[in-house]
Structures are given as C-alpha cells and as structure tokens.
Amino acid sequence: MSKKIFITGTGTDVGKTFVTGLMMKKLNENKKKSAFYKAAMSGNERGADGNLIPGDAVFVKTMSGIAQPLSEMCPYVYEAAVSPHLASRIEENPIRMDIVRQGFDALCQKYDYVTMEGSGGILCPLCFDEVKLQLEDVIKELNLSCLLIADAGLGTINATTLTAAYMRSNNIPVKGIVFNRFRPGDILHEDNLKMCETMTGLKVLACVKNGDTELDISFDLLESLYESNIKRENSR
C-alpha cells in the first residue's frame, strides 16, 4: 500500500518545492519508487511547442532524479501567475476534486511513496466559483497528514504559529516543521526555531540552508513521515 504526505507552507515562496525536491531525492537515493503530485500549478511558461511547462514538476524531477513522467504530476497547469482559483477562472478551466483524486489514486496504485505539494499557504483557494474548493478540502478528501514548511527569517513566529493553529483547529494532522533558508548561528534564526517549537508544540525536524543539496535528516525519520492511512480526531 502506498505511503503519502502533503507538503504545505506558511505562505507563498517559503520553499515548499525546494524541500519537496530534497525529500524525494533522499527517497530516490534509497531506491524507493516515489511520485510527486500537485493539484494545480500557476505561473508557468510555454515551451517551443506552445504547451505549458509545469515548472514545479520539472524542478522536483530534476532535483530528485525520479523517473516519473511529467504528465502524471499535475492535472491543472496554468499560465497566469496568480492564485490557482483566479488562474482557473481566467483560463476557464476550473479545478475539480474528482479529477485531482483520480490522478492521486492512480499514483498510489503505481508508486510506493507519493509526495503531494500544496499551492501557497494552507488557506489558498483552488476554486471559488460554482464550487468552492480549498487545499484543506483536498487534504481531508485524500486523508493526508502534513509537513509544514516555514522560512527561518523575520516574521516566521507569527506565520508558523497561526498556520499550525488553523490546521489543528480544522483537524489537519501536522507531522512537524521544516525551516528553510536557515542560517546556523544566526541569533534570529536560532531563536525563531525555539519559539516556533514552543508556540506550536511541533518539532522542527530539519533545517535547510541556502544551496543545500541534501536534506539533513535520517532516511528512517523521513520515511516515518509518510503514512498509508491516518486516523483523524473528531473536529471540535
């Protein structure tokens, strides 16, 4: 049975795709058959053939070295560099849960590990027209637990604590935090780590520095973050 996890962040451009690439590289180096999946990607460029290139998927595939074809990685690829709900409206291609689920389930049948990445932060809407669809709906529909990616710099205490509190209040399991752009010995970054752990009750499982090519955690810890099925507590 496939094991999976959802990668979310405290906002846009905190390094979700970079950390995902490092995670999948470690899986691949340990001979695990793994796949990447993202419901929607916006802000993509067109290739010479005129077709949109799923930029995040290309990045993860290149960094990790996985064999998975790009065509499996994302059902909705948009050109407009805006939130997916707006890009889907502009390009008249609304995101549907059944299509997202179909692609995800197909990967779970084919691969041992599936890493799904979200768009933006946890409150990012995917569709907000006839049907309202948000990331948390996808997480719950696919029965996933999450890893929270946060920038190590100024402002992360508020962003990380609020994100963790929102997820906890909405019955979304969080396995831990990964700090990105971390500078060892930097008094701000070191204090942010301690404060985020204290205020969220979550462990910072790894710290990623600029230019890192490996995720500095053991393979056993990484593997333990992926789950086949999770049990959700009743919402308050």
Which tens digits make up the pLDDT trace of 128-171? 987 899 999 999 999 999 999 999 999 999 999 999 999 999 99
Q: Where are the beta strands (DSSP E) in the chain?
A: 3-9, 34-38, 40-41, 76-77, 113-121, 125-128, 132-134, 146-151, 174-180, 204-208
- State the catalytic residues: 38
Q: Which of 73-82, 173-182, 196-205, 223-232 has the lowest mean pLDDT?
A: 223-232
Which tens digits make up the pLDDT trace of 159-188? 999 999 999 999 999 999 999 999 999 999
Does the pLDDT of residue 42 top 90, yes or no?
Answer: yes
One-letter identity of residue 148: L
**CA nearest 76: which of 34, 50, 104?**
104
Does the pLDDT of residue 59 top 80, yes or no?
Answer: yes
**CB within 8 A of 235, min separation 6: which ones?**
170, 171
Token digits of residue 45: 């460029």
Read off the pLDDT of each residue in 15-31 and give the average, rounded to a whole number: 97
Domains in the chain, CATH or no CATH each: 3-225 (3.40.50.300)
Tell me if 16 sits within 8 A of 121, measured CB to CB: no
Distance between first and last Cα of the chain:
31
Report the chain's mean pLDDT, rounded to a whole number.
Answer: 95
For the whole model, what pTM was predicted?
0.95
